[in-house]
Amino acid sequence: MSTSTNVTPSSERREAVIGGTLLVAIGLLVLLVQNIKTESLGLLFLPALGGLFLVAGILGRQVGFIIPGGILTGIGMGVVLTQNPALAVTD
């Protein structure tokens, strides 16, 4: 018994383009964080990475990118909200 999937060449190409674009965007983000020495940019790394995964999941219509995108964005926003001095709770 064989199962076949209906994968067209155009959908394979779209997945390859989205994957390649995601890798380039992650590389540019890492390069930006390393070369610009600010604390706030480092704090925004996880939410930005999660956002990239969410965009890739939405454009590629794949839940495999949306799940880690949601997790990374949630953890990253938690870090940003707890480390931001303007949002700190003072007694």
pLDDT digits (tens, 9 = 90+) for 43-68: 888 888 898 889 888 888 888 889 99
**Sequence-distant contacts of 61-68: CB under 8 A, at least 24 apart:** 62/15, 65/22
Per-chain mean pLDDT for the chain: 79
Residues ≥6 apart with Cβ < 8 Å to 38? none
Q: The pTM is what?
A: 0.66
pLDDT at position 9, please? Answer: 67
Residues 26 and 53: their CA atoms lie apart, in Å, by 10
More confident residue, 11 or 79: 79
The pLDDT > 90 percentage for the chain reads 11
